[in-house]
Amino acid sequence: MPHITLEYSANLKDEGDFKSLCGKLAKCLAEQRSDGKPVYPLGGIRVRALEAADYAIADDSLDAAFVHAVFKIAPGRSEHVRQATGDALFDIIKAHFEPLYQRRGLALSMELIEFSETGAWKHNNLHARLKKQDTQPT
């Protein structure tokens, strides 16, 4: 963990540049530090964007659009770390969409969810692969 899922209205597909946004958000997560140490393991970072083909927004104007981010993390991080990460991520989202925000109806939102390890299954070799890469000479 952490995982970010971006859900967006289909009317943003062509101009939302979600691939770029996913990369910016992943980089932000990888750069988060607390006491000089990474807050989130690189091998756990996932960012994805999912198009909502069917939606209704406000007055159902064709101009209206939305992006909602769900940021999921495992429990145990301080309130300060959670707030700093959330602020950094949402600042990126707002900056990314600023040009669109200025010319159309756009609702941006994000929520942070701390999930319980109970009821979660994982099978992931990315941590070991990244560790191996870090120990190989360059």
Mean pLDDT of 108-114: 97
Mean pLDDT of 34-54: 96
Structure tokens at 91: 């600042």
The model's confidence at residue 19, banded by pLDDT at 50, 70 and 90, is very high
Nearest Cα residue to 113 out of 55, 64, 60, 74: 74
CATH architecture of 3-135: 2-Layer Sandwich (3.30)
- How many CA atoms are closer than 13 Å to the CA of 18, on its beta-carbon side? 20
Structure tokens at 8: 């967006």
Check residue 130 and give its pLDDT: 82
Check residue 136 and give its pLDDT: 62
Q: Residue 138 pLDDT more than 60?
A: no
Burial class (CB in 10 A: 0-12, 13-18, 19+), 72: middle
Strands 65-73 and 106-114: parallel
Q: Domain segments of the chain: what residues? A: 3-135
Mean pLDDT of 57-66: 90
At 89 the three-state DSSP class reads helix
Check residue 111 and give its pLDDT: 98
